[in-house]
Structure 1
Amino acid sequence: MYELLIGLRYTRAKRRNGFISFISLISIVGIGLGVAALIIVLSVMNGFQEEVRNRILGMAAHVQLTGGDGTLRNWQDVANPVLKTEHVRAAAPYVLGQGLLNYSGQVKGTLIRGIDPELEPGVSEVTKKIIGGTLDQLRPGQFNIILGWQLAAELGAQVGDKITLITPQGQVTPAGLVPRFRQFTIAGVFKADYYPYDAGLGLVALSDAQKLYRTGEAVTGLRLRLDDLFNARSVAMRITREHPGVVASDWTQENPTYFRAVEIEKRMMFIILTLIVAVAAFNLVSTLVMVVTDKQADIAILRTLGATPGSVMKIFVVQGAISGFVGTATGVIAGVLVALNLGTIVPFIERIIGTHILSPDVYLITELPSRVEFTDVGSIAAISLLLALVATLYPSWRASRINPVEALRYE
């Protein structure tokens, strides 16, 4: 195709007007910067989403099962067939209740989760989160408790101290309804790096929680761990369908507001940053219009040699598309390299400016997380190329409409 050859020659040719070359370079650089910025920002958002999700699921289950009345009787009869379900790797019972912790005049509301110390490590990473004591110390009948580090700090309590737990399930006496009190010994402290857990969760032995909340042999439900957390929705639906009377919920339903907010934010950032790419891509319009004006005599000669208006249009489409491709390819390479090496780049910038970009006291992380999803990279590249191609249509059409007689009159 001679249109492709001429378009490539025009792209490589040295401009008679240096300003046109400068504007062309600015257009390519603008596309590259926009594409790189979009890849880097989306990679950081993916990294943050994965980091927080892992912290949430470090103490939470992929799927939770309970009965229609909020309790599960004979949980072993439910656990045995559920463990045979595809993708399910482990199951553990739990009892969940509310309470008030009192220590030295400090009172804090908290969730109390009764767990089986032998089965719990299969469904959560609690053993990796404990920074004082061990999970084995939650022995039945000893009424030990493991608190989140922030909850313990707010109470001013340490490992070995005795605290009082007040439950809403009161006792009826001649004087009226009296709350139930029970003294617990702090056997450990965990750090999940997720505020709702660190500041509002206490772990006790399963049998101790059953006595405390008077559930008898029943439990609140079962917590399941899967081989892939993204199968949680389908597994929950399958269990609900195959086990009448069992209500299943997955991790996305337990934290709907957060994950919906992250998804909306990611979409909006994609749209906003795509506009930057669009602005840079449409700079090609002004570049190609000036190129068409500069090449009027050449276009007229091609027309007199037999080139059709369609062929002239193709020549300038090729020229603009190549500029868009070069800018997009440069942006993709730069964006992916920066996103993959943020762990090295950010500390270098912090050393230069002398401050932390991410304060661990505020964000609970010291490194900027980044995860490159190549589906995002492909989408960004495709949109950038499409915008560049659309930007070439008007200047190319204008070139095809040049009258050879008028163009050559003053040559």
Structure 2
Amino acid sequence: MFRPLSIFIGTRYTRAKRRNRFVSFISMTSMIGLALGVLAMIVVLSVMNGFQREMSNRILGMVPHATIIGAKPIDDWRPVAEAALKNPEVTAAVPFTEMDGMLSFKGSMQPIQISGIDPAQEGKVSIVTRHIVQGSLEDLKPGEFGVVLGDITARRFRLTVGDKITLIVPEASTAPGGITPRLQRLNVVGIFKVGAELDGTMGLIHMADAAAIAHWEPNQVQSVRLAVKDLYAAPQVSQQVAAGLGAGYKADDWTHTQGSLFSAMKMEKTMIGLLLLMIVAVAAFNIIATLIMVVNDKGADIAILRTIGATPRQIMAIFMVQGTVIGIVGTLIGGVLGVIAALNVSELVGWVERVSGQHIFSSDVYFVSNLPSELQGGDVALICGAGFVLSFLATLYPAYRAAQIQPAHALRYS
């Protein structure tokens, strides 16, 4: 089968033939280095994607995707929920009241964000029902002032189901300071553990009890909580719903409360990706050293090719082909191994833990007690594409030097 001269000779130079074994060896090391760089980049970014997915599922499964807040307490939340559900992006709408306060227990205190909910409907918009480790969400009865706390809060105060704790909330008054504390005794009826910071900052009470603490009517709520199909469309969806309800309502969404966290995770992934790309770049530019050694080794061959009619363009193409072959093969090997490793890294870590008897990610220390991984095709394509481009760029200078070799000079000193 006919092959152009540059492709035929360039591919031959990548294989070991007698005196070329050293050159072939350094070509192989360049290929292996590039493969390892691509493999590491795919695995690390997949693990970061996995952690981001876990944190998104846990945090955004607990906090509201969006809320429709009334200018004053909402007397009947059902018409608001029905109006919200007319939007095709909204999957659920339930009553919701939120207040900030302090928990006090035996002289110790901590800030807390209390959510007033309807236990019968909370499962439509929250994952908390699947993460109750003690007690039950159904034990939140109106008028009994029960509370479901997070695992971190419970461990900090050494609480169990049946204990009593004091909630302190600010209350506007005519006193000189303008605000006086209101104390409410709460009964611990449940403990949840979602494996995120919310385990230490959130508490759940019945919406009727929240209304009583705020001096509202028992059926009044602060807002209607929405669950949406696309989390990143929550700002637009909530604004549309609020606009349809009129001037007495405003919208809020998760980007205002948790947006900084996810922006930080996105920035972290970007910066680590750039740092890992430097590893790939170093491996790719090892091809420069490889090709320069090949050019020096093949000076006489280049001179002979020039004397029998090869043009500088063809000589340049020979070494560009050789470097590109090294880059493509190394990137493909690294890509395949990286995909396999990313798909099995969780099982590999689990096997290491079983064999060693040590927990690498202890649930007592880390929110996520395993090593999650989420392989994204876009990341693999971007990494492999970067490897191809860097490998090609690394061939330009050595190939140009080869094209500038003068036949008479090369043959004289060969």
What TM-score comes out, normalization by structure 2 length?
0.91
> For the residues of structure 1 that align with 2:255 and 2:41, how far apart are their CA atoms?
26
Partner of 2:251: 248
**Stretch deviating more after TM superposition (244-253 or 267-276):** 244-253
Kept in 2, the 8 Å contact 1:83–1:89? The answer is: yes
> Which of 373, 387, 391 lines up with 1:388 in the alignment?
391
Listed as ranges, the matches of 1:8-407 within 5 Å are 8-14=11-17, 16-67=19-70, 69=71, 72=74, 74-169=76-171, 179-195=181-197, 197-216=198-217, 217-245=219-247, 246-350=249-353, 355-407=358-410
Kept in 1, the 8 Å contact 2:16–2:24? The answer is: no
**Stretch deviating more after TM superposition (58-67 or 103-112):** 103-112
> For the residues of structure 2 that align with 1:107 and 1:405, how far apart are their CA atoms?
88
Kept in 2, the 8 Å contact 1:98–1:111? The answer is: yes
> For the residues of structure 2 that align with 1:258 and 1:108, how far apart are their CA atoms?
21
Structure 1 residue 401 displacement after superposition: 1.4
> For the residues of structure 2 that align with 1:167 and 1:251, how far apart are their CA atoms?
23
Kept in 1, the 8 Å contact 2:14–2:24? The answer is: no
> For the residues of structure 2 that align with 1:241 and 1:62, how far apart are their CA atoms?
17
> For the residues of structure 2 that align with 1:153 and 1:271, how far apart are their CA atoms?
40
Kept in 2, the 8 Å contact 1:58–1:192? The answer is: no
Could you say what secondary structure the match of 2:14 adopts? helix
> For the residues of structure 1 that align with 2:239 and 2:77, how far apart are their CA atoms?
19
> For the residues of structure 1 that align with 2:179 and 2:63, how far apart are their CA atoms?
34
The amino acid of 1:160's aligned partner reads G
Cα distance, 1:239–1:37 mapped onto 2, change above 3 Å: same
> For the residues of structure 2 that align with 1:235 and 1:177, how far apart are their CA atoms?
36
Kept in 2, the 8 Å contact 1:72–1:221? The answer is: yes
**1:127-178 deviation digits (Å, cap 9, x = unpaired):** 11212222222222232222223323333332123333333226779xx986
**Stretch deviating more after TM superposition (353-362 or 51-60):** 353-362
Partner of 1:2: 5
The amino acid of 1:201's aligned partner reads M
Could you say what secondary structure the match of 1:220 adopts? strand
> For the residues of structure 2 that align with 1:350 and 1:70, how far apart are their CA atoms?
54
> For the residues of structure 1 that align with 2:72 and 2:58, how far apart are their CA atoms?
26
Cα distance, 1:73–1:149 mapped onto 2, change above 3 Å: same
Could you say what secondary structure the match of 2:51 adopts? helix
Could you say what secondary structure the match of 1:361 adopts? coil
> For the residues of structure 2 that align with 1:92 and 1:14, how far apart are their CA atoms?
74
Structure 1 residue 226 displacement after superposition: 1.8
Could you say what secondary structure the match of 2:210 adopts? helix
**1:224-253 deviation digits (Å, cap 9, x = unpaired):** 112333432442343355444333233233
Cα distance, 1:153–1:347 mapped onto 2, change above 3 Å: closer
Could you say what secondary structure the match of 2:364 adopts? helix
Kept in 2, the 8 Å contact 1:108–1:155? The answer is: no
What TM-score comes out, normalization by structure 1 length?
0.91
> For the residues of structure 2 that align with 1:394 and 1:178, how far apart are their CA atoms?
75
Cα distance, 1:177–1:318 mapped onto 2, change above 3 Å: closer
Cα distance, 1:13–1:409 mapped onto 2, change above 3 Å: same
Could you say what secondary structure the match of 2:38 adopts? helix
